[in-house]
Amino acid sequence: MIYSIRGTLTHTEPGFVVIECGGIGYKCSTTMNTRRSLPRLNDEAMLYTHMSVREDAVELFGFSTTAELSCFRLLTSVSKVGPKAALSILSELSPEQLAVCIATSDSKAITRANGVGLKLAQRIILELKDKLKLFEESDISVDWSSDEVNPSDEGNIQKAVEALAVLGYDSGEVLPILSRLDSSQSVEELISAVLREMAAR
């Protein structure tokens, strides 16, 4: 499995980019959000990757952040959601926006993605909420008696914890970070701040 690729960005077009590494150009299917974050042509670029091996094809998918990669893997774990639909969704929504959509059952926002209808959006929420429940049973319960969290901040922080659980982060990882943030921020802003700090570690 190829975890990441670093090299010269030699080509971009809608749907994919090419990174040359060791004299080989690797075609990486990717999202619009990742494409927008990449440097200019002929500059060095790095992507986190997922390799799909099927009987008829081997495909490499590249993402600018581990959060986007995690979301892609989560989405493609949903029945009837293939790589094309997952890339479309992550071109429309950031990882934190998608996490909030799942935590709040906002299927309409997911349907903004090209080729994603209401039934598929509802299926994504249903199946990924089931995964969220597994996190809730083990990790997601927040101890509001802890000095780290003010009970008056429960609403947005709890929603942020639940949404981050969709991305695979447990409360023990994210609460110390959330406790230092301004709880008047939106849930999406809180999630984004946590993801930035986690990525910087």
Q: Which CATH fold would you assign to the domain 4-63?
A: OB fold (Dihydrolipoamide Acetyltransferase, E2P) (2.40.50)
In the block, tokens 């309409």 appear at 108
Query: 4 or 162: which carries more pLDDT confidence?
Result: 4
In the block, tokens 């994210």 appear at 174
Query: 4 or 168: which carries more pLDDT confidence?
Result: 4
pLDDT digits (tens, 9 = 90+) for 41-96: 999 999 999 999 888 888 999 999 988 998 899 899 999 999 999 999 999 998 88
Residues 80 and 137: their CA atoms lie apart, in Å, by 27
Give the relative orientation of helices 118-138 and 66-76 as an angle to the nearest 10 degrees. 110
Give the pairing type, strands 16-21 and 24-29.
antiparallel
Domain locations in the chain?
4-63, 67-131, 138-200
Query: What pLDDT is attached to residue 48?
Result: 96
Query: What pLDDT is attached to residue 2?
Result: 84
C-alpha pair distances (Å), 95 with each of 13, 122, 175, 187 = 22, 17, 19, 13
Query: 53 or 10: which carries more pLDDT confidence?
Result: 10
The CATH class that applies to domain 67-131 reads mainly alpha
Q: How confident is the model at residue 143 (pLDDT cuts 50, 70, 90)?
A: very low
